[in-house]
Amino acid sequence: MSRHSVLSTIGAIMVSSGINSPPAINAADTTAAARTFVRDHESKIQPLEIEIGRAWWTANTTGKDEDFAVKEQAENRLNDALADAAQFARLKQIHAGQIDDAVLARQVQLLYLQYLEKQVEPALLKRMTAKANTIEKAFNVFSAKVGDTSYTDGEVRQTLQKSKESGLRQQVWEASKRVGAEIENDLRDLVRLRNDAATRLGYADFHVMQLHLTELDQTQVLKLFDELDELTRAPYARAKAEIDERLAKDYGLKPDELRPWHYHDPFFQESPAVYDVDLDRPFANADISRICREFYAGLGLPIDDVLARSDLYEKPGKSPHAFCTDIDRAGDVRVLANIRPTEYWMGTMLHELGHAVYSSKNIPAELPFTLRSDAHILATEGVAMMFERFSKSADWLRAFGVEVADREQYSAAAARMRRDRLLIFSRWCQVMFRFEVELYREPSQDLNKLWWDLVEKYQLLRRPAGRNAPDYASKIHIVSAPAYYHNYLLGQLFACQLHAAIAHEVLHDPDAANAIYTREARVGDFMKAKVFSQGRLKSWDDLTRYATGENLNAKAFAAEFNR
């Protein structure tokens, strides 16, 4: 995770007073006006963003209410500045004109989207925020009740992970879905409010708008998801059949008697723990931060200064998650983590430090502030995921002094785990993405049916007989992080495609899926030249072609499973 992926566009909307283009002015005047605007923007916004970066860091490392209050105040100041209607009117006129300088034009384009997102009519924004809060509160106070017993979220998950009793599993699963019925009507209202905001700006609906604000096109993403569906259908069916066989045995059932409550989480978005493998044993005495330091130094992308500023181990009050943040876009890059000697934390640290190398540490300081960050959420997540993969390679671990007793067995088990995770997650993302596209396109359709049709088609789960309930509404992301899920999957496609490009062009290794690199400065050089040097100069789309020679596609991702 990177900080800006968390901050970005959650629930944000905008409305403008009109969509007609203002009168054109000549190119020289527009260019001059653009320069002035960018200068004004930087002098006002840059300090606010740095302040948020620092406040975010403090709040997450201490967990104190007063620090979270400081963070929220800083965020509000930034939102107010970006919502400034007069500033937006200036920017809109510049954006509609001709700018003679490509780098300046790129900045204006990105600033336009950034301000546009905040141009919400205050009354409408208030209604949307209130509606979203009502729903989130309902989620917070909800507990799944079976008879007289209440189950917290964690207890639901625990039951689904451990219990062998089909009857209890079904009751707990059904109870956990009841939150959907509680919030269903409010969610539909919220969807209509979001659509209202979007259509006033000339967008077909909220989903189309959210994608457009992040330089994505819904039709293009759907096409990519279709391609991915085609390429993963068979390997997914095979992987799921193996898992089903083991699950069925656990419950004394036949595979075709399995129902959604037989999987280990409420949505089957994660790989059930059906294989008896212990990937953690080799890490018992491993110094994970030392391994990361050596690895990135070997690529010519040292991160010693990042580690020195980071907060890497558990302590009371601190966020239990992991993220990387570029505080000032001038090299103050930090990682928050809670390292334990496990494979999970090896992968997570490689991931977070992947964000750290794709930051102002390696993005040229000459780029203007607006362009001095990663090209897109999918690009930085992709780079992080690309490096993360090596925690599952025994050969790679050995190169850094982690001895694995049976290397072949470890790598085979880890590869299967990775394959299952990626396939299961990709099919789950298909459901989420397509459901949200349809939800915003036509909120009054039969959403209960739509949800289960998608779940059956993409996840190959069986709908419980006669089930007609708003099960989609028990997924909080639809409320709190709308039109966002696709970024994870696009990031994974980018990760695999970039890794394959490195395997072929830098390592000259035809077997990309198994290619590893350890102390290869050539790889760091490639990343600097083809990715980091660009900052946000290029869109994600142009960057993908520049770095890999191809449009973003699903081939490299699928090639990892079709062997």
Instruction: State which of residues 1, 198, 379, 399 lies at the interface with Zn ion (CB under 5 A).
Output: 1
Return the residues of window 379-398 that contact Zn ion according to CB under 5 A. Answer: 381, 384
HEC readout, 105-154: HHHHHHHHHHHHCCCCCHHHHHHHHHHHHHHHHHHHHCCEEECCEEECHH
Among the listed ranges 151-159, 215-223, 262-270, 375-383, the one in contact with Zn ion (CB under 5 A) is 375-383
Minimum Å gap between C-beta 486 and Zn ion is: 15
- Residue 354 beta carbon to Zn ion: minimum distance, rounded to whole angstroms: 8
Of 95 and 351, which has the nearer Cβ to Zn ion?
A: 351
Strand-pairing partners, residue 144, are 151
Selection from 471, 474, 292, 282 nearest residue 384 by Cα: 292
Q: Which stretch binds Zn ion (CB under 5 A): 34-42, 88-96, 247-255, 376-384?
A: 376-384
Q: Integer distance in angstroms from the first to the last C-alpha of the chain?
A: 30
Contacts with Zn ion by CB under 5 A: the residue count is 3
Spatial neighbors of 75 by CB under 8 A, at least 6 apart, are 52
Closer Cβ to Zn ion, 301 or 413, answer by number: 301
Minimum distance of Zn ion from residue 356's CB (angstroms): 11
Interacting positions 488-527 with Zn ion (CB under 5 A): none
Which H or E run includes 334? strand 333-336
The minimum distance between CB 478 and Zn ion, in angstroms, equals 21
Q: Smallest distance from the beta carbon of 65 to Zn ion, in angstroms?
A: 27
Residue closer to Zn ion by CB (options 70, 384) is 384
Compare residues 244 and 381 and give the one whose CB is closer to Zn ion.
381
Q: How far is the CB of 335 from Zn ion (least distance, A)?
A: 11
Q: Is residue 311 classed as helix, strand or coil in its secondary structure?
A: strand
Buried b (16+ CB within 10 A) or exposed e, 460-475: ebbbbeebebbbbbbb
Q: Specify the residue, 240 or 355, whose C-beta has the smaller distance to Zn ion.
A: 355
Q: Which is nearer to Zn ion, 53 or 272 (CB)?
A: 53
> Whose Cβ is closer to Zn ion: residue 38's or residue 384's?
384
Task: Provide Rg for the chain, Cα atoms.
Answer: 24
Nearer CB in complex with Zn ion: 1/558? 1
Work out whether 228 is an interface residue with Zn ion (CB under 5 A). no
> CA–CA distance from 278 to each of 268, 269, 326, 414 (Å)?
22, 21, 34, 9
**From the CB of 359, what's the least distance to Zn ion, in Å?**
12
Nearer to Zn ion, 324 or 414 (CB): 324
* Residue partners of 436: CB distance under 8 A and separation at least 6: 207, 478, 482, 483, 485
Residue 490 CB, nearest approach to Zn ion (Å): 13
Instruction: Measure the CA–CA gap between 68 and 62, rounded to whole angstroms.
Output: 9
Q: Does 357 bind Zn ion (CB under 5 A)?
A: no
Q: Rounded to an integer, what distance in angstroms lies between the CA atom of residue 468 and that of residue 447?
A: 10
Q: Which is nearer to Zn ion, 292 or 384 (CB)?
A: 384
Q: Do residues 436 and 305 make contact, with C-beta atoms less than 8 angstroms apart? A: no
User: What's the min distance (Å) between Cβ of 155 and Zn ion?
Assistant: 28
Contact stretch for Zn ion (CB under 5 A) within 291-299, 377-385, 416-424, 540-548: 377-385
Q: How many CB atoms lie within 10 A of CB 414?
A: 21
Q: Is 204 helix (H, G, I), strand (E, B) or coil?
A: coil
91: contact with Zn ion by CB under 5 A: no
Binding segment for Zn ion among 378-386, 402-410, 492-500, 536-544 (CB under 5 A)? Answer: 378-386
Q: Print the binding letters for residues 156-195 with Zn ion: x by CB under 5 A, - otherwise.
A: ----------------------------------------
Residue 447 interacts with Zn ion (CB under 5 A): yes or no: no
User: Could you give the CA distance from residue 346 to residue 286 in angstroms, rounded to a whole number?
Assistant: 9
The residue (of 156 and 496) whose beta carbon lies closer to Zn ion is: 496
Residue nearest to Zn ion (CB): 1
Q: Burial code of 93-104, b = ≥16 C-beta within 10 A, e = fewer?
A: bbbebebeeeeb
Span near Zn ion by CB under 5 A; candidates 76-84, 326-334, 374-382, 546-554: 374-382
Question: Which residue do the tokens 């999987």 mark?
Answer: 263
The least distance separating Zn ion from the CB of residue 193, rounded to whole angstroms, comes to 30
Closest approach of Zn ion to the CB of residue 381, in Å: 5
CB 35 within 8 Å of CB 104:
yes
User: How would you write 443-487 as a 3-class SS string?
Assistant: CCCCHHHHHHHHHHHHHCCCCCCCCCCCHHHHCCHHHHCCCCCHH
Smallest gap from Cβ 323 to Zn ion, in A, equals 7
Q: 192 exposed, middle or buried (CB, 10 Å; 0-12, 13-18, 19+)?
A: middle
* Residue 460 Rama label (left phi>0; alpha psi -120 to 50; beta): left
Q: Which two tokens stand for residue 131?
A: 């509606």
Query: Which of 332, 381 has the CB closer to Zn ion?
Result: 381
**CB of 465 vs Zn ion, minimal distance in Å:** 40
Closer residue to Zn ion in complex, CB, 385/423? 385
Stretch that binds Zn ion, among 1-9, 84-92, 94-102, 229-237 (CB under 5 A): 1-9
For Zn ion, give the closer residue by CB, 15 or 378.
378
Helix axes 407-441, 206-213, angle to 10 degrees: 130
Q: Is 335 helix (H, G, I), strand (E, B) or coil?
A: strand
Give least dist CB 319 to Zn ion, A.
14
Question: Which residues are near Zn ion by CB under 5 A?
Answer: 1, 381, 384
